[in-house]
Amino acid sequence: MKMRNLLFVIIIFCAAGCGQNKTAEQENGNVIQSSPDSGEKAVRTETNSVAPKPLIPDTSVRMNIFKNTEISGYGYDILIGEKLYIHQPNIPAVEGNNGFATEEKARKAAAFIIYKIKMNIMPPSVTKGELDSLGVR
């Protein structure tokens, strides 16, 4: 009987401890969740989605837009710090070897790739649908 009671107490402690990895508090209509393991916080909006927190500081990732002399159009480079991370002379995810029609379209695509890098979405690839939604294809 004592063994059964001891087992019951252990199960109760385990069940109570499982739900306490994260604490939540209400703040301005949003729920702030923090994990004691990492100490980082994420804001859960009213739509119940967690807004991702950038993993790379804004100042370390930058773009360089260039006129492509080998093919028509524009391309971009993505640099992290001073190191070249991506060299994209043509439009990614589409057939052919054409550059972006305007410098602005190359800038929009590069900004989208930078967003993916900062949010640690790896690999920071782009699809035809994403290019269409950006209006750069």
Q: What is the pLDDT along the chain (137 residues), one digit of tens a residue?
A: 555 555 555 555 555 555 544 444 444 444 444 444 444 444 444 445 565 666 665 668 999 999 998 888 999 999 998 899 999 999 999 998 999 999 999 999 999 999 999 888 989 999 999 999 999 98
Tens of pLDDT, residue by residue over 61-100, are 999 999 998 888 999 999 998 899 999 999 999 998 999 9
Q: Do the Cβ atoms of 115 and 62 come closer than 8 Å?
A: no
Distance from C-alpha of 104 to C-alpha of 74, rounded to nearest angstrom: 9
Structure tokens at 34: 């923090």
**CA distances in angstroms from 68 to 18, 81, 90, 125, listed in the order given:** 56, 23, 8, 21
pLDDT at residue 30, rounded to an integer: 45
Domain ranges of the chain: 2-44, 58-134
pLDDT at residue 21, rounded to an integer: 45
Diameter of the chain measured on Cα atoms: 84
